[in-house]
Chains A and B, each alone.
Chain A
């Protein structure tokens, strides 16, 4: 089983719908991240969390919210999806502070029509 699991892997939805992307990890890491990948733009940080009580905005947090339900679970929500949120979303964990290796899930591809 993968150390970082994202669900769903693919989702097609309509404008205005609420969407939740879920991430769970078995690595025992405190730090978890949500990134968005767009062609030609690389990976951009949406939100990150250093423990259950800690949530921080990243570079592009507008239109997104997150919930850290437990050390192992970090969910990303789009309250009202719009077409320009169509992208590949990655969850990642990190275990060694700000200069440690990021361990990524396999991604959730979201299409907003």
Chain B
């Protein structure tokens, strides 16, 4: 089955700096790559996703890039704010079995 690795496990940045989280996947059949944000005490919530026919997608301060050849995709958050502090999960879906990375705890220091 699909295996998703996510790095780093923790990330601390100053407010206003950029944050980058990277994921690799193993199954070349994966064609959908979402990113979820989990705030304390809540369930994960989709923040952005990308499909395999697209190399990059941007939504305001967040962007995702996908390199299908290398089987990796990344989340970029620019101009970070304290409310960006949360756990972020990447995922890859080759079929009905969406596999998640282990998560990255992002802390944005004011």
- Give Cα distance in the complex from A42 to B51, angstroms: 21
- Give Cα distance in the complex from A58 to B44, angstroms: 19
- Supposing A45-B97, A98-B93, A106-B41 touch, asked if A40 and B31 sit within 8 A by C-beta, the answer is no
Say if the beta carbon of B61 comes within 8 Å of chain A: no
- Supposing A101-B49, A102-B46, A104-B44 touch, asked if A59 and B32 sit within 8 A by C-beta, the answer is no
Count of B residues near A, CB < 8 Å?
28
Say if the beta carbon of B102 comes within 8 Å of chain A: yes
- Tell me, rounded to whole Å, the shortest Cβ–Cβ distance linking A59 to chain B: 7
Count of A residues near B, CB < 8 Å?
23
- Give Cα distance in the complex from A101 to B98, angstroms: 11
Say if the beta carbon of B110 comes within 8 Å of chain A: no
Say if the beta carbon of B6 comes within 8 Å of chain A: yes
**Closest partner residue, chain B, to A99 (CB atom):** B32
Q: Is the CB of A48 within 8 A of B46?
A: no
Say if the beta carbon of A73 comes within 8 Å of chain B: no
- Tell me, rounded to whole Å, the shortest Cβ–Cβ distance linking B96 to chain A: 5
**Closest partner residue, chain B, to A2 (CB atom):** B43
State which residues 12-55 of B face A: CB under 8 Å. 31-32, 34, 36, 41-46, 49, 51
- Supposing A58-B97, A90-B43 touch, asked if A98 and B32 sit within 8 A by C-beta, the answer is yes
Q: Is the CB of A48 within 8 A of B96?
A: yes
- Supposing A101-B49, A106-B41, A107-B43 touch, asked if A43 and B100 sit within 8 A by C-beta, the answer is yes
A-B contact pairs, 16 of them (CB 8 A): A40-B9, A41-B102, A42-B100, A43-B89, A43-B91, A45-B97, A59-B97, A59-B99, A90-B43, A99-B31, A102-B44, A102-B46, A105-B43, A106-B42, A107-B42, A107-B43
